[in-house]
Chain A
Amino acid sequence: MDERDDDIRLQALYRSAAREAPSAAMDSAILGAAAAKVRRDRVTPILAIAAGLVVAVLIVRGMALPTPGAAPQETRSYLLALHTPPVDAATEARP
């Protein structure tokens, strides 16, 4: 008799758990989404501040893009046309 009562109570518990499971899962999902949103809301400004700091440091250290120089062809033309100083006596003495 006792065993049968236990079985009945157990089955009732299972049914109750089965009924409540979807609700619990939903609650859990809603809570998880809310927590993720809170994390995003906190992380985004922190990331923005960090990126700003990195950019500021790069600018301060002069690591911005280098100033472009003369074009390669312009450089070549300049060197080809370059008139070199005369080889003076001191230079002549060296090999």
Chain B
Amino acid sequence: MSRPTRRAALLLGAALALWSVGPAIAQDRHGWFLSGINQTDYIFHTGEGGSGRNSQRMSDANEMRSRIFENSVLFPPPEGLQAVSIRSKPSVRPGGMGALSRTVPARRFLGKRVRLSADLRTERAGRVQMWMKVNGAADRVLAFDDMQSRPLRGSTRWRRYSIVLQVPANATEITYGFLLAGSGTAWAKDFALNPTPATTPLTGGAGGSTP
């Protein structure tokens, strides 16, 4: 086999491999999952620079580069090269919402006050909110904040946002993420969950955001 033919065969094989990965995924290897109202009107990517077809590939790269710090989860890596995103399709219907979320065990944070922080960016977005929920047994909500009183709208540059909740001793899991309501695009990166001093003001309680 001549060199150009071999190169063409390699390129074809690589293209087929990328194609086989498929379009947007329901849940990536880090546990990010898509949900929402009219959620088929939204697509999500686990890598800012990637299209739907290579999202999984970029997610794999994230996994390799993810760093784990004591008492904290940092994802994607601090280099900030990768971001997860939600984008509305051109045919998005009114009244819709897409959310990209992730669940982690709560045991590391039991009895502690926890800060969720992430960098968010929006483009022509209807409404974007970061959110966090602390669940107990039988999906009972123990603490919750969805930034309802401080959402992002329109186009905004990268900026860090925080949610602070108390994790009771009987908590079982923490779910966090961000959502896009209406049309537009939202990106998020560098999610971090860290214990904070008990004096840090809470942003939410059992029912939602504090005023």
B29 & A90 in contact (Cβ 8 Å cutoff)? yes
A69 & B96 in contact (Cβ 8 Å cutoff)? yes
Residue from B33, B37, B104 within 8 A of A94 (CB atoms): B104
Q: In the complex the two chains form, what is the Cα distance from A63 to B125 in whole Å?
A: 11
B133 & A94 in contact (Cβ 8 Å cutoff)? no
Let me know if B27 is at the binding interface, CB within 8 A: yes
Chain B interface size, under 10 / 10 to 19 / 20 to 34 / 35 or more: 35 or more
Contacts of A80 in B (CB 8 A): 133, 141, 144
Contacts of A87 in B (CB 8 A): 31, 103-105, 173
Let me know if B62 is at the binding interface, CB within 8 A: no
Let me know if A88 is at the binding interface, CB within 8 A: yes
Let me know if A68 is at the binding interface, CB within 8 A: yes
A contacts with B: majority SS: loop
Q: In the complex the two chains form, what is the Cα distance from A83 to B27 in whole Å?
A: 14
Whole-angstrom distance from the CB of A16 to the nearest CB of chain B? 69
B184 & A66 in contact (Cβ 8 Å cutoff)? yes
Let me know if A23 is at the binding interface, CB within 8 A: no
B31 & A95 in contact (Cβ 8 Å cutoff)? no
CB-CB nearest in chain A for B70? A95
A67 & B92 in contact (Cβ 8 Å cutoff)? yes
Whole-angstrom distance from the CB of A91 to the nearest CB of chain B? 5
Residue from B90, B92, B146 within 8 A of A79 (CB atoms): B146
B151 & A69 in contact (Cβ 8 Å cutoff)? no
A69 & B95 in contact (Cβ 8 Å cutoff)? yes
B21-48 interface mask toward A, CB cutoff 8 Å, 1 = contact, 0 = none?
0000001011101011100000000000
We find that the number of chain A residues with CB closer than 8 angstroms to chain B is 27
B147-175 interface mask toward A, CB cutoff 8 Å, 1 = contact, 0 = none?
01001000000000000000000000101
A67 & B94 in contact (Cβ 8 Å cutoff)? yes
Whole-angstrom distance from the CB of A93 to the nearest CB of chain B? 10
Whole-angstrom distance from the CB of B138 to the nearest CB of chain A? 11
B183 & A66 in contact (Cβ 8 Å cutoff)? yes
A78 & B37 in contact (Cβ 8 Å cutoff)? yes
Let me know if A40 is at the binding interface, CB within 8 A: no
Residue from B73, B124, B146 within 8 A of A75 (CB atoms): B146
Known: A67-B96, A72-B181. 9 other contacts (CB 8 A): A62-B90, A66-B182, A67-B182, A69-B95, A70-B37, A72-B127, A84-B135, A95-B72, A95-B73
Q: Give residues in B with beta carbon < 8 Å to A.
A: 27, 29-31, 33, 35-37, 68, 71-73, 88, 90, 92-97, 99, 101, 103-105, 108, 124-127, 129, 131, 133, 135, 139, 141, 144, 146, 148, 151, 173, 175, 179-184, 208
What would 20 A/B residue contacts be, using CB atoms closer than 8 Å? A66-B125, A67-B88, A67-B96, A67-B182, A68-B95, A68-B182, A69-B182, A70-B95, A70-B97, A72-B127, A72-B148, A73-B148, A80-B133, A80-B141, A82-B175, A84-B103, A84-B173, A87-B104, A91-B30, A91-B105
